[in-house]
Chain A
Amino acid sequence: MTFMLAGPAVYVLWLSFTVSNFGQNPQFVGWQNYAAILTDRYFWTAAWNTFIVVNAVVYIELLLAVLVALVVASLKTGRMLMFAVVLVPYGISEVVGVLSWRFLADPSIGLITNTLALIGIDFNWTLNPEAALVLITTISIWHHLPFSFVIIYAAIISVPNELYEAARVDGATKWQEFWLITAPIIVPAALLAIIFRYVFAFRMFSEVWLVTQGGPIRLTEVLGTYLYRTGFRYSDFGGAAATGWLMVLGSLLLAAIYLRAIYRSAFRDA
Protein backbone atom coordinates (compact mmCIF):
# COMPACT_ATOMS: atom_id res chain seq x y z
CA MET A 1 0.00 0.00 0.00
CA THR A 2 2.74 2.42 0.89
CA PHE A 3 4.27 1.50 -2.42
CA MET A 4 1.03 2.34 -4.19
CA LEU A 5 0.82 5.67 -2.41
CA ALA A 6 4.43 6.52 -2.99
CA GLY A 7 4.60 4.96 -6.44
CA PRO A 8 3.13 7.67 -8.65
CA ALA A 9 4.47 10.49 -6.48
CA VAL A 10 8.03 9.20 -6.56
CA TYR A 11 7.72 8.47 -10.26
CA VAL A 12 6.68 12.08 -10.90
CA LEU A 13 9.56 13.23 -8.70
CA TRP A 14 11.98 11.07 -10.70
CA LEU A 15 10.56 12.36 -14.00
CA SER A 16 11.00 15.91 -12.75
CA PHE A 17 14.77 15.31 -12.63
CA THR A 18 14.95 13.91 -16.16
CA VAL A 19 14.71 14.89 -19.78
CA SER A 20 12.52 12.53 -21.78
CA ASN A 21 10.45 12.16 -24.90
CA PHE A 22 6.85 12.07 -23.60
CA GLY A 23 8.12 10.21 -20.56
CA GLN A 24 10.10 7.60 -22.50
CA ASN A 25 13.87 7.00 -22.30
CA PRO A 26 14.34 9.41 -19.38
CA GLN A 27 17.85 10.83 -18.87
CA PHE A 28 18.80 12.13 -15.44
CA VAL A 29 19.56 15.86 -15.43
CA GLY A 30 19.35 16.84 -11.76
CA TRP A 31 17.84 20.21 -10.92
CA GLN A 32 17.97 21.44 -14.51
CA ASN A 33 14.19 21.25 -15.06
CA TYR A 34 13.47 23.22 -11.93
CA ALA A 35 16.05 25.82 -12.87
CA ALA A 36 14.56 26.14 -16.34
CA ILE A 37 11.04 26.60 -14.95
CA LEU A 38 11.97 29.00 -12.21
CA THR A 39 13.75 31.26 -14.70
CA ASP A 40 10.86 31.09 -17.22
CA ARG A 41 8.92 34.33 -16.96
CA TYR A 42 5.75 32.61 -18.23
CA PHE A 43 5.95 30.36 -15.20
CA TRP A 44 5.86 33.40 -12.96
CA THR A 45 2.91 34.92 -14.85
CA ALA A 46 1.13 31.58 -14.46
CA ALA A 47 2.02 31.34 -10.77
CA TRP A 48 0.90 34.92 -10.09
CA ASN A 49 -2.39 34.43 -11.99
CA THR A 50 -3.01 31.20 -10.12
CA PHE A 51 -2.34 32.90 -6.80
CA ILE A 52 -4.78 35.76 -7.56
CA VAL A 53 -7.51 33.61 -9.09
CA VAL A 54 -7.33 30.88 -6.46
CA ASN A 55 -7.56 33.35 -3.58
CA ALA A 56 -10.43 35.22 -5.23
CA VAL A 57 -12.26 31.97 -5.93
CA VAL A 58 -11.78 30.52 -2.44
CA TYR A 59 -12.86 33.59 -0.46
CA ILE A 60 -15.66 34.90 -2.66
CA GLU A 61 -17.03 31.41 -2.98
CA LEU A 62 -16.90 30.87 0.79
CA LEU A 63 -18.70 34.13 1.45
CA LEU A 64 -21.40 33.28 -1.10
CA ALA A 65 -21.69 29.74 0.25
CA VAL A 66 -22.30 31.03 3.79
CA LEU A 67 -24.87 33.58 2.60
CA VAL A 68 -26.70 31.08 0.38
CA ALA A 69 -26.63 28.39 3.06
CA LEU A 70 -28.08 30.83 5.63
CA VAL A 71 -30.87 31.82 3.25
CA VAL A 72 -31.73 28.24 2.27
CA ALA A 73 -31.60 27.00 5.87
CA SER A 74 -33.94 29.80 6.99
CA LEU A 75 -36.65 28.89 4.47
CA LYS A 76 -39.80 27.42 5.89
CA THR A 77 -41.21 26.06 2.63
CA GLY A 78 -39.45 24.82 -0.46
CA ARG A 79 -36.17 24.12 1.31
CA MET A 80 -35.52 20.88 -0.59
CA LEU A 81 -36.30 22.57 -3.88
CA MET A 82 -33.84 25.41 -3.24
CA PHE A 83 -31.22 22.91 -2.09
CA ALA A 84 -31.61 21.18 -5.45
CA VAL A 85 -31.51 24.49 -7.34
CA VAL A 86 -28.23 25.50 -5.70
CA LEU A 87 -26.67 22.12 -6.59
CA VAL A 88 -27.52 22.34 -10.30
CA PRO A 89 -24.20 23.75 -11.59
CA TYR A 90 -22.31 20.82 -10.06
CA GLY A 91 -24.08 18.40 -12.38
CA ILE A 92 -23.23 20.40 -15.48
CA SER A 93 -20.18 19.69 -17.61
CA GLU A 94 -17.47 22.34 -17.37
CA VAL A 95 -17.65 22.58 -21.14
CA VAL A 96 -21.34 23.49 -21.16
CA GLY A 97 -20.82 25.91 -18.26
CA VAL A 98 -18.01 27.67 -20.10
CA LEU A 99 -20.03 27.64 -23.32
CA SER A 100 -22.89 29.46 -21.62
CA TRP A 101 -20.75 32.02 -19.79
CA ARG A 102 -18.62 32.66 -22.83
CA PHE A 103 -21.72 33.43 -24.84
CA LEU A 104 -23.26 35.53 -22.05
CA ALA A 105 -20.05 37.56 -21.93
CA ASP A 106 -19.40 37.60 -25.66
CA PRO A 107 -17.69 40.93 -26.49
CA SER A 108 -20.10 41.87 -29.28
CA ILE A 109 -23.38 40.05 -28.66
CA GLY A 110 -23.26 38.86 -25.04
CA LEU A 111 -26.12 39.63 -22.68
CA ILE A 112 -23.81 40.56 -19.81
CA THR A 113 -21.45 42.57 -21.99
CA ASN A 114 -24.30 44.53 -23.51
CA THR A 115 -25.84 45.20 -20.11
CA LEU A 116 -22.50 46.36 -18.72
CA ALA A 117 -22.06 48.56 -21.78
CA LEU A 118 -25.38 50.28 -20.95
CA ILE A 119 -23.90 51.47 -17.64
CA GLY A 120 -20.65 52.40 -19.33
CA ILE A 121 -18.43 49.44 -18.49
CA ASP A 122 -16.40 47.95 -21.30
CA PHE A 123 -15.87 44.23 -20.68
CA ASN A 124 -13.84 42.51 -23.35
CA TRP A 125 -12.16 39.34 -22.17
CA THR A 126 -10.75 38.50 -25.59
CA LEU A 127 -8.45 41.53 -25.48
CA ASN A 128 -8.07 42.35 -21.83
CA PRO A 129 -6.33 39.69 -19.67
CA GLU A 130 -7.77 41.08 -16.43
CA ALA A 131 -11.30 40.80 -17.79
CA ALA A 132 -10.54 37.23 -18.90
CA LEU A 133 -9.35 36.35 -15.40
CA VAL A 134 -12.51 37.88 -13.93
CA LEU A 135 -14.60 35.74 -16.28
CA ILE A 136 -12.59 32.62 -15.40
CA THR A 137 -12.97 33.33 -11.68
CA THR A 138 -16.72 33.79 -12.09
CA ILE A 139 -17.12 30.53 -14.00
CA SER A 140 -15.08 28.67 -11.43
CA ILE A 141 -17.15 30.05 -8.54
CA TRP A 142 -20.39 29.32 -10.39
CA HIS A 143 -19.34 25.76 -10.98
CA HIS A 144 -18.01 24.92 -7.51
CA LEU A 145 -20.26 26.94 -5.21
CA PRO A 146 -22.42 23.81 -4.62
CA PHE A 147 -19.41 22.04 -3.12
CA SER A 148 -18.72 24.68 -0.46
CA PHE A 149 -22.45 25.18 0.00
CA VAL A 150 -23.09 21.53 0.93
CA ILE A 151 -20.34 21.56 3.55
CA ILE A 152 -21.55 24.81 5.18
CA TYR A 153 -25.23 23.91 4.86
CA ALA A 154 -24.70 20.53 6.55
CA ALA A 155 -23.03 22.35 9.45
CA ILE A 156 -25.81 24.93 9.77
CA ILE A 157 -28.66 22.43 9.83
CA SER A 158 -26.82 20.29 12.38
CA VAL A 159 -27.57 22.95 15.03
CA PRO A 160 -30.49 21.70 17.09
CA ASN A 161 -33.44 24.09 17.02
CA GLU A 162 -33.71 24.07 20.82
CA LEU A 163 -30.50 26.05 20.97
CA TYR A 164 -32.11 28.93 19.09
CA GLU A 165 -35.30 28.65 21.12
CA ALA A 166 -33.33 28.80 24.36
CA ALA A 167 -31.44 31.84 23.08
CA ARG A 168 -34.71 33.56 22.17
CA VAL A 169 -36.12 32.85 25.60
CA ASP A 170 -33.02 34.46 27.06
CA GLY A 171 -33.74 37.51 24.91
CA ALA A 172 -31.00 37.19 22.29
CA THR A 173 -31.35 39.30 19.14
CA LYS A 174 -31.09 37.77 15.65
CA TRP A 175 -27.60 39.23 15.38
CA GLN A 176 -26.49 37.66 18.66
CA GLU A 177 -28.01 34.34 17.61
CA PHE A 178 -25.88 34.41 14.48
CA TRP A 179 -22.58 35.37 16.14
CA LEU A 180 -22.98 33.23 19.23
CA ILE A 181 -24.60 30.08 17.83
CA THR A 182 -24.38 29.85 14.06
CA ALA A 183 -20.95 31.37 13.44
CA PRO A 184 -19.00 29.06 15.80
CA ILE A 185 -20.62 26.08 14.06
CA ILE A 186 -19.77 27.40 10.61
CA VAL A 187 -16.08 28.03 11.35
CA PRO A 188 -14.80 24.41 11.37
CA ALA A 189 -16.88 23.62 8.28
CA ALA A 190 -15.54 26.75 6.59
CA LEU A 191 -11.95 25.70 7.38
CA LEU A 192 -12.61 22.36 5.74
CA ALA A 193 -14.21 23.99 2.72
CA ILE A 194 -11.28 26.41 2.39
CA ILE A 195 -8.68 23.63 2.48
CA PHE A 196 -10.50 21.52 -0.08
CA ARG A 197 -11.10 24.47 -2.35
CA TYR A 198 -7.47 25.62 -2.14
CA VAL A 199 -6.34 22.16 -3.18
CA PHE A 200 -8.98 21.81 -5.91
CA ALA A 201 -8.82 25.37 -7.26
CA PHE A 202 -5.06 25.13 -7.61
CA ARG A 203 -5.44 22.47 -10.27
CA MET A 204 -7.70 24.72 -12.34
CA PHE A 205 -7.29 23.86 -16.00
CA SER A 206 -10.43 23.43 -18.08
CA GLU A 207 -11.97 26.83 -17.26
CA VAL A 208 -8.85 28.60 -18.46
CA TRP A 209 -8.16 26.32 -21.38
CA LEU A 210 -11.72 26.54 -22.66
CA VAL A 211 -11.97 30.30 -22.26
CA THR A 212 -8.61 31.69 -23.39
CA GLN A 213 -6.17 28.76 -23.78
CA GLY A 214 -3.93 30.95 -21.62
CA GLY A 215 -3.79 33.73 -24.20
CA PRO A 216 -3.50 36.48 -25.31
CA ILE A 217 0.27 35.93 -25.45
CA ARG A 218 0.10 33.59 -22.43
CA LEU A 219 -1.01 36.42 -20.15
CA THR A 220 -3.89 34.46 -18.62
CA GLU A 221 -1.95 31.25 -18.16
CA VAL A 222 -2.38 29.43 -14.81
CA LEU A 223 -0.18 26.63 -13.48
CA GLY A 224 -2.51 23.96 -14.84
CA THR A 225 -2.31 25.24 -18.41
CA TYR A 226 1.42 25.93 -18.01
CA LEU A 227 1.93 22.28 -17.01
CA TYR A 228 -0.15 21.06 -19.95
CA ARG A 229 1.65 23.28 -22.45
CA THR A 230 5.08 22.31 -21.12
CA GLY A 231 4.34 18.59 -21.09
CA PHE A 232 2.09 17.96 -24.04
CA ARG A 233 2.76 20.84 -26.43
CA TYR A 234 6.50 21.33 -25.90
CA SER A 235 6.91 17.62 -25.04
CA ASP A 236 8.96 18.54 -21.96
CA PHE A 237 7.73 15.93 -19.49
CA GLY A 238 10.51 16.65 -17.03
CA GLY A 239 9.46 20.29 -16.88
CA ALA A 240 5.81 19.31 -16.57
CA ALA A 241 6.58 16.91 -13.73
CA ALA A 242 8.57 19.62 -11.97
CA THR A 243 5.64 22.04 -12.40
CA GLY A 244 3.36 19.36 -10.98
CA TRP A 245 5.45 19.13 -7.85
CA LEU A 246 5.59 22.89 -7.47
CA MET A 247 1.79 22.96 -7.85
CA VAL A 248 1.19 20.42 -5.10
CA LEU A 249 3.65 22.24 -2.82
CA GLY A 250 2.03 25.59 -3.63
CA SER A 251 -1.48 24.46 -2.81
CA LEU A 252 -0.35 22.90 0.46
CA LEU A 253 1.58 26.03 1.33
CA LEU A 254 -1.45 28.26 0.73
CA ALA A 255 -3.66 25.95 2.74
CA ALA A 256 -1.00 25.53 5.44
CA ILE A 257 -2.44 28.08 7.88
CA TYR A 258 -5.81 26.39 7.72
CA LEU A 259 -4.37 22.88 7.86
CA ARG A 260 -2.56 23.96 11.02
CA ALA A 261 -5.76 25.36 12.51
CA ILE A 262 -7.57 22.08 11.87
CA TYR A 263 -4.65 20.07 13.22
CA ARG A 264 -4.56 22.15 16.38
CA SER A 265 -8.29 21.95 17.01
CA ALA A 266 -8.17 18.19 16.51
CA PHE A 267 -5.25 18.05 18.92
CA ARG A 268 -7.09 20.09 21.53
CA ASP A 269 -10.06 17.74 21.38
CA ALA A 270 -7.89 14.67 21.76
Chain B
Amino acid sequence: MRKFIGRFGKALAVGLISVWSLFPIAYVVLNAFKQHRDIFVFPPDVIFTPTFDNFISIAEVYPQFFGYMLNSLLISVSATLVCVVASALAGYVYSRFRGKALAASAFYLVAIRLLPPLVITIPLFPWVNILGLADTYWVLIALYAAFWLPLNVLIMKEFIDQIPRSLDESAIIDGASEWQLLRHIILPLSAQGMVACAVFVFVFSWNEYVYAFIFTIQNAKTTPLVLAEIMDSVTGTNYGVLFAAATIQLIPVVLLVLVLQRQLVAGLTAGAVKG
Protein backbone atom coordinates (compact mmCIF):
# COMPACT_ATOMS: atom_id res chain seq x y z
CA MET B 1 0.00 0.00 0.00
CA ARG B 2 2.79 2.44 0.91
CA LYS B 3 4.57 1.56 -2.28
CA PHE B 4 1.40 2.19 -4.23
CA ILE B 5 0.96 5.64 -2.67
CA GLY B 6 4.62 6.42 -3.40
CA ARG B 7 4.25 5.45 -7.04
CA PHE B 8 1.00 7.34 -7.37
CA GLY B 9 2.56 10.44 -5.81
CA LYS B 10 5.46 10.31 -8.23
CA ALA B 11 3.17 9.93 -11.22
CA LEU B 12 1.15 12.89 -9.98
CA ALA B 13 4.33 14.97 -9.58
CA VAL B 14 5.50 14.05 -13.08
CA GLY B 15 2.08 15.02 -14.42
CA LEU B 16 2.11 18.38 -12.63
CA ILE B 17 5.63 19.18 -13.82
CA SER B 18 4.70 18.35 -17.40
CA VAL B 19 1.57 20.51 -17.29
CA TRP B 20 3.48 23.44 -15.79
CA SER B 21 6.23 23.20 -18.40
CA LEU B 22 4.29 22.32 -21.51
CA PHE B 23 0.76 23.58 -21.10
CA PRO B 24 1.33 27.28 -21.86
CA ILE B 25 3.05 26.33 -25.11
CA ALA B 26 0.58 23.61 -26.02
CA TYR B 27 -2.20 26.12 -25.40
CA VAL B 28 -0.75 28.55 -27.96
CA VAL B 29 -0.26 25.81 -30.53
CA LEU B 30 -3.74 24.30 -29.99
CA ASN B 31 -5.41 27.68 -30.26
CA ALA B 32 -3.57 28.33 -33.50
CA PHE B 33 -5.55 25.46 -35.01
CA LYS B 34 -8.90 26.53 -33.57
CA GLN B 35 -11.56 28.57 -35.25
CA HIS B 36 -12.05 31.98 -33.81
CA ARG B 37 -15.28 31.09 -31.99
CA ASP B 38 -13.70 27.97 -30.41
CA ILE B 39 -10.82 29.91 -28.87
CA PHE B 40 -12.96 31.80 -26.38
CA VAL B 41 -15.05 28.90 -25.07
CA PHE B 42 -14.85 28.15 -21.34
CA PRO B 43 -14.26 25.45 -20.31
CA PRO B 44 -12.18 24.92 -23.47
CA ASP B 45 -13.08 22.04 -25.79
CA VAL B 46 -10.48 19.33 -25.88
CA ILE B 47 -11.90 17.96 -29.10
CA PHE B 48 -12.40 20.39 -31.96
CA THR B 49 -12.13 20.45 -35.73
CA PRO B 50 -8.65 21.73 -36.55
CA THR B 51 -8.35 24.42 -39.17
CA PHE B 52 -5.47 26.00 -41.03
CA ASP B 53 -7.34 29.24 -41.63
CA ASN B 54 -5.31 31.14 -39.07
CA PHE B 55 -2.03 30.25 -40.75
CA ILE B 56 -3.39 31.23 -44.14
CA SER B 57 -4.60 34.57 -42.78
CA ILE B 58 -1.17 35.60 -41.43
CA ALA B 59 0.01 36.86 -44.81
CA GLU B 60 -3.19 38.80 -45.24
CA VAL B 61 -3.66 40.29 -41.75
CA TYR B 62 0.00 40.89 -40.88
CA PRO B 63 1.74 41.11 -44.27
CA GLN B 64 4.97 42.31 -42.66
CA PHE B 65 5.34 39.13 -40.55
CA PHE B 66 7.24 36.91 -43.00
CA GLY B 67 9.66 39.68 -43.98
CA TYR B 68 10.59 40.15 -40.32
CA MET B 69 11.00 36.40 -39.96
CA LEU B 70 13.54 36.54 -42.76
CA ASN B 71 15.34 39.30 -40.80
CA SER B 72 15.39 37.05 -37.75
CA LEU B 73 16.74 34.15 -39.78
CA LEU B 74 19.56 36.17 -41.39
CA ILE B 75 20.56 37.77 -38.10
CA SER B 76 20.44 34.52 -36.12
CA VAL B 77 22.41 32.50 -38.68
CA SER B 78 25.11 35.19 -39.03
CA ALA B 79 25.43 35.64 -35.26
CA THR B 80 25.72 31.85 -34.89
CA LEU B 81 28.50 31.59 -37.47
CA VAL B 82 30.49 34.47 -36.00
CA CYS B 83 30.10 33.24 -32.44
CA VAL B 84 30.90 29.58 -33.09
CA VAL B 85 34.05 30.32 -35.10
CA ALA B 86 35.26 32.80 -32.49
CA SER B 87 34.44 30.47 -29.57
CA ALA B 88 36.16 27.49 -31.15
CA LEU B 89 39.36 29.46 -31.81
CA ALA B 90 39.31 31.08 -28.37
CA GLY B 91 38.46 27.74 -26.74
CA TYR B 92 41.53 26.23 -28.40
CA VAL B 93 43.76 29.01 -27.11
CA TYR B 94 42.40 28.76 -23.56
CA SER B 95 42.73 25.00 -23.60
CA ARG B 96 46.30 24.78 -24.90
CA PHE B 97 48.03 27.87 -23.61
CA ARG B 98 48.54 29.41 -20.17
CA GLY B 99 49.43 32.93 -19.09
CA LYS B 100 48.51 35.85 -16.89
CA ALA B 101 46.93 37.84 -19.70
CA LEU B 102 44.86 34.80 -20.69
CA ALA B 103 43.63 34.22 -17.14
CA ALA B 104 42.72 37.90 -16.84
CA SER B 105 40.82 37.83 -20.12
CA ALA B 106 38.94 34.69 -19.03
CA PHE B 107 37.89 36.47 -15.86
CA TYR B 108 36.81 39.45 -17.94
CA LEU B 109 34.70 37.21 -20.19
CA VAL B 110 32.75 35.94 -17.20
CA ALA B 111 32.56 39.25 -15.34
CA ILE B 112 31.12 41.18 -18.27
CA ARG B 113 28.14 38.83 -18.36
CA LEU B 114 27.10 40.12 -14.95
CA LEU B 115 26.25 43.57 -16.33
CA PRO B 116 22.55 43.78 -17.21
CA PRO B 117 21.94 43.99 -20.99
CA LEU B 118 19.81 47.07 -20.46
CA VAL B 119 22.69 48.83 -18.70
CA ILE B 120 25.00 47.91 -21.58
CA THR B 121 22.66 49.49 -24.11
CA ILE B 122 23.14 52.92 -22.51
CA PRO B 123 26.83 53.39 -23.40
CA LEU B 124 26.31 51.49 -26.67
CA PHE B 125 23.42 53.56 -27.96
CA PRO B 126 25.30 56.80 -28.72
CA TRP B 127 28.10 54.86 -30.42
CA VAL B 128 25.74 52.76 -32.48
CA ASN B 129 24.16 56.00 -33.69
CA ILE B 130 27.49 57.70 -34.41
CA LEU B 131 28.61 54.68 -36.44
CA GLY B 132 25.29 54.66 -38.29
CA LEU B 133 24.51 51.10 -37.19
CA ALA B 134 21.13 51.72 -35.58
CA ASP B 135 18.35 49.66 -37.14
CA THR B 136 20.77 47.49 -39.16
CA TYR B 137 21.46 43.75 -39.03
CA TRP B 138 25.06 44.42 -38.03
CA VAL B 139 24.37 45.74 -34.57
CA LEU B 140 22.17 42.78 -33.63
CA ILE B 141 24.56 40.23 -35.16
CA ALA B 142 27.47 41.69 -33.20
CA LEU B 143 25.49 41.90 -29.95
CA TYR B 144 24.06 38.38 -30.15
CA ALA B 145 27.42 36.84 -31.06
CA ALA B 146 29.14 38.76 -28.26
CA PHE B 147 26.44 37.89 -25.72
CA TRP B 148 26.96 34.14 -26.00
CA LEU B 149 30.70 34.28 -26.60
CA PRO B 150 31.80 33.91 -22.94
CA LEU B 151 29.78 30.77 -22.19
CA ASN B 152 30.55 29.20 -25.55
CA VAL B 153 34.26 29.79 -25.10
CA LEU B 154 34.08 27.93 -21.78
CA ILE B 155 32.10 25.09 -23.35
CA MET B 156 34.55 24.81 -26.26
CA LYS B 157 37.46 24.81 -23.83
CA GLU B 158 35.88 21.86 -21.97
CA PHE B 159 35.49 19.94 -25.23
CA ILE B 160 38.99 20.72 -26.51
CA ASP B 161 40.46 19.81 -23.10
CA GLN B 162 39.21 16.29 -23.70
CA ILE B 163 41.26 15.90 -26.89
CA PRO B 164 44.55 14.29 -25.83
CA ARG B 165 47.56 16.54 -26.25
CA SER B 166 49.55 13.65 -27.66
CA LEU B 167 47.48 14.07 -30.82
CA ASP B 168 48.65 17.70 -31.14
CA GLU B 169 52.22 16.68 -30.55
CA SER B 170 52.29 13.89 -33.11
CA ALA B 171 50.69 16.20 -35.67
CA ILE B 172 53.35 18.82 -35.03
CA ILE B 173 56.11 16.21 -35.31
CA ASP B 174 54.63 15.11 -38.62
CA GLY B 175 55.12 18.68 -39.76
CA ALA B 176 51.59 20.08 -39.45
CA SER B 177 51.25 23.83 -39.08
CA GLU B 178 49.11 25.21 -36.28
CA TRP B 179 46.37 25.94 -38.80
CA GLN B 180 46.46 22.36 -40.16
CA LEU B 181 46.39 21.03 -36.61
CA LEU B 182 43.27 23.08 -35.94
CA ARG B 183 41.56 22.18 -39.19
CA HIS B 184 42.29 18.47 -39.29
CA ILE B 185 42.37 17.49 -35.63
CA ILE B 186 40.98 19.97 -33.12
CA LEU B 187 37.93 21.23 -34.96
CA PRO B 188 36.64 17.87 -36.25
CA LEU B 189 37.09 16.28 -32.81
CA SER B 190 35.24 19.09 -31.04
CA ALA B 191 32.42 19.22 -33.59
CA GLN B 192 29.88 18.07 -31.01
CA GLY B 193 30.71 21.06 -28.84
CA MET B 194 30.43 23.42 -31.79
CA VAL B 195 26.98 22.07 -32.61
CA ALA B 196 25.83 22.66 -29.02
CA CYS B 197 27.27 26.18 -29.03
CA ALA B 198 25.62 26.91 -32.36
CA VAL B 199 22.21 25.88 -31.04
CA PHE B 200 22.61 28.04 -27.92
CA VAL B 201 23.41 31.19 -29.92
CA PHE B 202 20.83 30.49 -32.57
CA VAL B 203 17.99 29.92 -30.12
CA PHE B 204 18.99 32.99 -28.12
CA SER B 205 19.19 35.22 -31.22
CA TRP B 206 15.97 33.84 -32.61
CA ASN B 207 14.07 34.60 -29.39
CA GLU B 208 15.81 37.75 -28.15
CA TYR B 209 13.67 40.77 -27.34
CA VAL B 210 15.47 43.52 -25.37
CA TYR B 211 18.33 44.39 -27.75
CA ALA B 212 16.06 44.16 -30.78
CA PHE B 213 13.55 46.40 -29.01
CA ILE B 214 16.16 49.09 -28.36
CA PHE B 215 18.30 49.00 -31.48
CA THR B 216 15.79 48.47 -34.28
CA ILE B 217 13.09 50.77 -35.58
CA GLN B 218 11.89 49.47 -38.91
CA ASN B 219 14.34 47.69 -41.21
CA ALA B 220 16.00 45.21 -38.90
CA LYS B 221 13.01 44.30 -36.70
CA THR B 222 12.88 40.67 -35.65
CA THR B 223 10.04 38.20 -35.15
CA PRO B 224 9.67 38.48 -31.34
CA LEU B 225 9.34 42.25 -31.70
CA VAL B 226 6.60 41.93 -34.29
CA LEU B 227 4.78 39.35 -32.18
CA ALA B 228 4.90 41.74 -29.22
CA GLU B 229 3.47 44.53 -31.35
CA ILE B 230 0.69 42.33 -32.65
CA MET B 231 -0.03 41.16 -29.09
CA ASP B 232 -0.58 44.73 -27.93
CA SER B 233 -2.89 45.70 -30.76
CA VAL B 234 -4.76 42.43 -31.27
CA THR B 235 -8.55 42.45 -31.23
CA GLY B 236 -11.20 39.72 -31.23
CA THR B 237 -11.04 37.94 -34.54
CA ASN B 238 -7.27 38.14 -34.94
CA TYR B 239 -6.32 36.19 -31.82
CA GLY B 240 -6.14 32.95 -33.79
CA VAL B 241 -3.84 34.57 -36.32
CA LEU B 242 -1.55 35.79 -33.54
CA PHE B 243 -1.39 32.25 -32.10
CA ALA B 244 -0.59 30.90 -35.57
CA ALA B 245 2.24 33.42 -35.97
CA ALA B 246 3.62 32.49 -32.54
CA THR B 247 3.44 28.80 -33.48
CA ILE B 248 5.47 29.43 -36.62
CA GLN B 249 8.03 31.29 -34.51
CA LEU B 250 8.40 28.15 -32.34
CA ILE B 251 9.05 25.73 -35.21
CA PRO B 252 12.80 26.26 -35.87
CA VAL B 253 13.65 25.92 -32.18
CA VAL B 254 11.61 22.75 -31.78
CA LEU B 255 13.17 21.22 -34.91
CA LEU B 256 16.72 22.08 -33.83
CA VAL B 257 16.25 20.67 -30.35
CA LEU B 258 14.63 17.46 -31.60
CA VAL B 259 17.33 16.81 -34.21
CA LEU B 260 20.32 17.77 -32.07
CA GLN B 261 19.26 16.44 -28.64
CA ARG B 262 22.39 14.40 -28.02
CA GLN B 263 24.86 17.20 -28.82
CA LEU B 264 22.84 19.57 -26.66
CA VAL B 265 22.98 17.36 -23.60
CA ALA B 266 26.74 16.98 -24.08
CA GLY B 267 27.06 20.77 -24.29
CA LEU B 268 24.86 21.37 -21.27
CA THR B 269 26.88 18.89 -19.23
CA ALA B 270 30.13 20.59 -20.23
CA GLY B 271 28.62 23.92 -19.18
CA ALA B 272 27.19 22.61 -15.92
CA VAL B 273 30.46 20.97 -14.88
CA LYS B 274 32.12 24.35 -15.26
CA GLY B 275 29.31 26.31 -13.63
Residues of A participating in the B interface, judged by any CB pair closer than 8 Å: 1-2, 4-5, 8-9, 11-12, 15, 20, 22-24, 67-68, 71-72, 74-75, 80, 82, 84-86, 88-89, 91-104, 109, 111, 114, 142, 150-151, 154, 192, 199, 202-203, 205-206, 209-210, 224, 227-228, 231-232, 237, 240-241, 244-245, 247-248
Q: Is the CB of B231 within 8 A of A142?
A: no
CA distance A102 to B31 in the complex (A): 14
Q: Which residue of A lies closest to B199 (CB)?
A: A91
Q: How far, in angstroms, from A143 to B100 measured CA to CA in the complex?
A: 38
B216 within 8 A of A: no
Residues of B whose CB lies within 8 Å of any CB of A are 10, 13-14, 17-18, 20-22, 24-25, 27-28, 31, 40, 42-44, 101, 104-105, 108, 111-112, 114-123, 125-127, 129-130, 203, 206-210, 213-214, 223-225, 227-228, 231, 239, 242, 246, 249-250, 253-254, 257, 261, 265, 268-269, 272-273, 275
Q: Which of A98, A100, A114 contacts B42 (CB 8 A)?
A: A114
A22 touches B129 (CB 8 A): yes
* Identity of the chain B residue whose Cβ is nearest the Cβ of A210 in the assembled complex: B228
A selection of 21 A-B contacts at a CB cut-off of 8 Å is A1-B101, A1-B105, A1-B108, A2-B108, A9-B115, A15-B123, A22-B129, A24-B129, A71-B10, A84-B261, A96-B28, A99-B227, A104-B24, A142-B24, A206-B210, A224-B116, A227-B119, A228-B118, A237-B126, A247-B119, A248-B114
Tell whether A244 pairs with B22 under 8 Å between CB atoms, given A84-B261, A111-B42: no
Within 8 Å by CB of B22, from A68, A85, A95, A237, lies A85
Of the candidates B24, B31, B203, the one whose C-beta lies within 8 Å of that of A97 is B24
Contact B20–A142 (Cβ < 8 Å): yes
Instruction: Establish whether residues B207 and A100, one from each chain, have CB atoms under 8 Å apart when the complex forms.
Output: no
Q: Determine the distance from Cα of A95 to Cα of B111 in the docked complex, in whole angstroms.
A: 27
Which chain B residues border A96 with CB–CB below 8 Å? 25, 28, 207, 224, 227, 246, 249-250
Which of B17, B101, B123 is the one whose CB lies under 8 Å from A86?
Answer: B17
User: Cβ of A99 and Cβ of B209 under 8 Å apart?
Assistant: no
Residues of A within 8 A of B116 (CB): 202-203, 224, 244, 247-248
Taking CB atoms, residues of chain B closer than 8 Å to A97 are 24
CA distance A74 to B10 in the complex (A): 9
Q: How far is the CA of A167 from the CA of B18 in the complex (A)?
A: 32
Task: Tell me, in angstroms, the Cα distance from A265 to B48 when the chains sit together.
Answer: 58
**Interface contact B122-A244, CB-CB below 8 Å:** yes
Taking CB atoms, residues of chain B closer than 8 Å to A20 are 126
Additional A-B contacts beyond A5-B111, A209-B213, A244-B122 (12; CB < 8 A): A8-B120, A24-B129, A80-B265, A84-B261, A86-B21, A95-B227, A95-B246, A100-B25, A100-B28, A103-B239, A210-B228, A224-B118
The contact of A24 among B43, B44, B111, B126, by CB within 8 Å, is: B126
B44–A111 CB distance below 8 A: yes
Question: Which residue on B lies nearest to A72, using beta carbons?
Answer: B17
- Check B10–A93 contact: CB distance below 8 A: no
7 tightest Cβ-Cβ pairs between the two chains A and B: A23-B126, A203-B116, A93-B207, A244-B119, A100-B24, A95-B224, A154-B272
| B contact residues around A248 at 8 Å (CB) | 114-116, 119
Q: In this complex, what residue of B is CB-closest to A174?
A: B6
The one of A24, A91, A104, A203 in contact with B203, judged by C-beta atoms closer than 8 angstroms, is A91
In the complex formed, the residue of A with least CB distance to B40 is A109
Pick the contact of A71 from B14, B105, B126, B268 — CB < 8 Å? B14
Contacts of A8 in B (CB 8 A): 112, 115, 120, 123
Docked pose: A202 CA to B115 CA in angstroms: 10
Nearest chain A CB to B118 CB, angstrom units: 6
With A82-B17, A109-B42, A248-B119 as known contacts, state yes or no: A150 contacts B250, CB within 8 Å.
Answer: no
Contact A227–B17 (Cβ < 8 Å): no
Also in contact, A91 and B24, with CB within 8 A (given A96-B250, A99-B231): no
Distance of A9 Cα from B208 Cα, bound (Å): 23
Chain A residue contacts of B273, Cβ below 8 A: 154
Residues of B within 8 A of A114 (CB): 42-43
Complex: how many Å from CA A209 to CA B129? Answer: 24
Cα distance A244–B125 in the bound complex, in angstroms: 14
- Cα separation A161 to B44 with both chains bound (whole Å): 45
Interchain nearest-CB distance for A50 vs B (Å): 12
Residue ID in chain B nearest A193 by CB atoms: B275
Q: Contact: B28 with A1, CB < 8 Å?
A: no
